[in-house]
């Protein structure tokens, strides 16, 4: 899709996440899947998709290093929202045995670990799809502050319906529809990924400050810019 068309869509749906999501799921953009981490704020987008197009494929990446609470939450939400095409994907076991036999790759090379456990499985899962829906939001950090609803990477159209939503918008939505919270949120986890690389967030920190704490890494590699994994900006 040309840049001009993306700009037109972003202008058209700038103030209406639901309308933008409904358009994305209408078939006008081709075959689209929702990729969800079943993390801290995932219930909102999952609920919206379940109301608009309940047969939408939902891709859940189980890196085999997730918190047990995330796996329980995933099962709870899937049943609660009647997700009809939930696809749990995992890294290839033989490749894991060859490249990360001790499950310690995240310590020596976190980018390689994320590629092995997340990016490569997702790349395979998205074959045959024209686009995918993400739950990214501008407030989550400086690297996402200019995020638009519609964008494109090297291979797919990406739809970020909640890009402009604020924390209060998410909280209001979850309260209005009585959606369950991820159990780790109450313990200070505002962005939840793999257990070894996720920490609680202190008051005043960016929501993703607990991801790969102490490193310049801020993205797992499924979201890239100019072909490279996005890095933390120097202060």
Residues with catalytic function: 220
Smallest CA-to-CA distance from 42 within 119, 134, 117 is with 134
Tokens of 17: 């996440």
Handedness of CA 87, 117, 143, 203 (dihedral sign): positive
Residue 199 CB-half CA count within 13 A: 12
Smallest CA-to-CA distance from 194 within 104, 120, 123 is with 104
What CA–CA distance (Å, rounded) separates 106 from 198?
12
In the block, tokens 């456990």 appear at: 117
Asked if residue 159 lies in contact with residue 48, where contact means CB atoms within 8 angstroms, the answer is: no
**Chain centroid to CA 7: how far?**
22
Asked if residue 115 lies in contact with residue 87, where contact means CB atoms within 8 angstroms, the answer is: no
What CA–CA distance (Å, rounded) separates 90 from 83?
19
């Amino acid at each position: 899709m040309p840049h001009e068309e993306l700009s037109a869509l972003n202008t058209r749906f700038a103030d209406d996440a639901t309308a933008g999501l409904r358009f994305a799921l209408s078939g006008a953009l081709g075959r689209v899947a929702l990729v969800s981490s079943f993390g801290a704020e995932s219930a909102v987008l999952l609920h919206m998709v379940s109301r608009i197009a309940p047969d939408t494929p939902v891709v859940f990446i189980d890196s085999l290093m997730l918190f047990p609470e995330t796996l329980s939450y995933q099962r709870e939400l899937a049943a609660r929202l009647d997700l009809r095409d939930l696809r749990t994907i995992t890294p290839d076991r033989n490749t894991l045995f060859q490249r990360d036999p001790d499950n310690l790759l995240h310590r020596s090379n976190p980018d390689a670990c994320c590629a092995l456990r997340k990016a490569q499985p997702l790349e395979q899962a998205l074959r045959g799809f024209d686009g995918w829906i993400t739950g990214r939001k501008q407030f989550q950090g400086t690297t996402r502050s200019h995020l638009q609803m519609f964008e494109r990477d090297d291979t797919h159209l990406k739809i970020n319906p909640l890009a402009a939503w604020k924390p209060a918008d998410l909280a209001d939505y979850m309260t209005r529809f009585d959606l369950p919270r991820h159990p780790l949120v109450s313990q200070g986890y505002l962005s939840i990924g793999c257990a070894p690389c996720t920490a609680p967030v202190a008051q005043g920190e960016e929501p993703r400050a607990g991801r790969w704490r102490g490193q310049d890494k801020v993205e797992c590699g499924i979201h890239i810019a100019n072909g490279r994994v996005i890095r933390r900006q120097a202060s």
